[in-house]
Chains A and B, each alone.
Chain A
Amino acid sequence: MNEPQENTQGSKDGWPLYEVFVRGKRGLNHVHVGSLHAADDRMALTHARDLYTRRNEGVSIWVVRSENIAATTRGEKDPFFDPSADKVYRHPTFYDIPDDVPHI
């Protein structure tokens, strides 16, 4: 995502900032590819097509105003993610199974 987000109004142009997500092909998730400025949603989609899919890189595009994205706080050591850090029993490797048990 683009940060800091104070700039999302596109001060002097008056065109807000949009984040662009492209589905590369059927079966894949949309992935964030970058951002662009546009006057409205429709223009954002057209610009996204011209900018991010000039070589068949996508079959579907999402655009969303950057200011509408909620995000976690900064940093990789974010305590926000602590709840997942101490639950090793959520991983298959936590469980000892004898080698001679098949297909598990």
Chain B
Amino acid sequence: MSAELQEHFDETIAREQRIEPRDWMPEGYRKTLVRQIAQHAHSEIIGMQPEGTWITRAPSLRRKAILFAKVQDEAGHGLYLYSAAETLGADRADLTERLIEGRQKYSSIFNYPTPTFADVGVIGWFVDGAAICNQVPLCRSSYGPYARAMVRICKEESFHQRQGYELLMTMMRGTVAQREMVQDAVDRWWWPSLMMFGPPDQESPNSAQSMNWKIKRHSNDELRQRFVDMTVPQAEKLGVTLPDPELRWNATRGRYDFGTPDWAELKRVISGDGPCNAERVARRRSAHEEGAWVREAATAHAAKQAALSNEGAAA
């Protein structure tokens, strides 16, 4: 029986059809997906913080409204993804606990600080740009609910990247101090953004299995290369310098050559020792714990209303 189920699963994947929640699937496939989708959801939720801190200090009402909408989108993306994880049998409250207890990870990029408003622009340009490179192929991921969540997310992500780039163009037309602020943010975010694609292929042991299962469509290094190729001309247009002396066009490959990110730094930040790891998780924990009374009150109200309407029906 199990061999037949496995065969049916393999055929479905091979035919480029989607696996749906009610289908039989190997336990490894389910576990890999729950881990990946949960990490992805946590990243969206934690990702609200670095930019959210600028909402009250945005320089104009226009920028404030845009930033508000963007951060609200990140919350929405997190919820689409938690919803997808739940189709695999994961429990929402359990996932939240895993995040605030440090038992599940989120993207290393959100553990860097945002000291200036230019960071808001650079996050939109680099971080959301990198997310687009990662996420567009995930729209064809083999697991239906994950792929569908990614379609929704990708539609919204383009606004994020464009508002960031436009913000930076505006600052680049401003004072010398503003231009320096943009360059400083570019210098700080470039390498961490390249690290978002994960370790190099030879050090990413789970990638091959994920690609066989068609959860993932391209290797970390391929996606990183795409991001560099996409971003270099945008940097030239903007008038900033990317902080990599090895960055140059390779006419033979038809792609840019670039330097090696500091993989030791990535390991440090992933394992909890980044500039803001403790702060981010503490903030998420306090939001969750301080919201407990609201959740309890809503539950009590719902129970009371249900009881009242039952009485009404009986009378």
Contacts and interface: CB of A to CB of B under 8 A. Distances in A.
Interface in A36-87: 36-37, 39-40, 43, 50-51, 54-55, 71, 73-77
B255 interface: no
Contacts of B23: 74-76
B8 interface: yes
Nearest to B298: A39
A100 interface: no
A2 B90 CA distance: 11
Nearest to A66: B86
Contact of A12 (B79, B91, B145): B91
Contacts of B149: 34
A40 B8 CA distance: 39
A11 B90 CA distance: 11
B25 to A, nearest CB: 10
B302 A12 contact: no
Interface in B7-50: 8, 12, 21-24
B301 A39 contact: yes
A33 to B, nearest CB: 8
A3 interface: yes
A12 B86 contact: no
B93 A12 contact: yes
Given A12-B94, A37-B92, A51-B76, A3 B87 contact: yes
A15 B89 contact: no
B93 A17 contact: no
A54 B72 contact: yes
Contacts of B296: 14
B79 A51 contact: yes
Interface residues of A, number: 31
Contacts of A43: 298, 302
Contacts of A14: 295-296, 299
Given A2-B86, A34-B149, A35-B83, A13 B306 contact: no
Contact of A4 (B73, B80, B89): B89
A11 B91 contact: yes
B92 A10 contact: yes
A39 B83 contact: no
A2 B94 CA distance: 17
A54 B73 contact: yes
A3 to B, nearest CB: 4
A68 to B, nearest CB: 14
B234 interface: no
Contact of A75 (B22, B87, B152): B22
Contacts of B89: 3-4, 6-7
8 contacts: A3-B21, A7-B91, A12-B93, A14-B295, A39-B302, A40-B302, A43-B302, A51-B76
Interface of A: 1-4, 6-7, 10-15, 17, 33-37, 39-40, 43, 50-51, 54-55, 71, 73-77
